[in-house]
Amino acid sequence: MDTASLLEQLKKHQDLEYKQFHSSLGVNTDLIGVRTPILEQIAKTLAKENPIYFLDQYQKTCYETDVIYGFIVGYAKLDYAQKIHYFDKFTSLVDNWATCDLVCARQKWIKKKENKDRFLSYLSKLWNSKDPWKQRIVYVLLLDHYLEETYLPTLFQYCDMPYEKSYYVQMAIAWLLSVMLIHFPDQTELYLHKSKIDTFTFNKTLQKARESTRISKEKKAYYQTLKRE
């Protein structure tokens, strides 16, 4: 299927109420208004049929087709080099948080033992681009696929690196650290006491932790005392 045919198919599933809702969440890009489960179904079908053709011919069109492209990269049976090649192309399509977050969560191939460590060199290259959206991709991928004690030094290292002071980068770091406070509270609290992250990101980390239903009232009260002025 080419992009033009895909667009025709997507328009049949348009939900204008959902389009308006999604736009209100800060997805400021071209939207048709198709819900995520439908995008998943279409991507899984294309991933089984002829994924290479679709991935090779694809050019940025709209939110839904960008997401489908990224989903196919995650779902299709491709070797590691192909995964890197097409995921790298995907990173140039990202211009909003939803495309980033939805697609990163579906790159399950990164979790494979033979891929996990070698993928870190690609993350370093992506982060060093200094592009805010690509840096957000890095932090979301770390959250989705590296939230293990073994990789805590790597996670803390990335949080302390001189990231772009862009809202969506800072919020991704805050999101990552707030989840780390749930899974690794002692190590993450120790890190926060000496961290190099900026005040906005630091306070957002504490805010997101206090909003979590998986953190005790006592911890939330303690985190409130850590807020920077």
pLDDT in tens, 182-204: 999 999 999 999 998 999 999 99
CA 219 to CA 70: how far, in whole Å?
37
Q: Note whether residue 216 is domain-resident.
A: no
Q: Note whether residue 166 is domain-resident.
A: no
Q: Note whether residue 156 is domain-resident.
A: no
Report the domain count for the chain. Answer: 1
The pLDDT value given to residue 29: 84
Q: Note whether residue 157 is domain-resident.
A: no
CA 47 to CA 83: how far, in whole Å?
13
Q: Note whether residue 15 is domain-resident.
A: yes
Q: Minimal CA–CA distance to 66: which of 21, 20, 133, 119?
A: 133
Contacts of 104 (CB under 8 A, 6+ apart): 137, 140, 141, 144
Render pLDDT for 6-58 as a digit per residue (tens, 0 to 9): 999 999 999 999 999 998 988 878 999 999 999 999 999 999 999 999 999 99
Work out the average pLDDT over 84-113.
Answer: 97
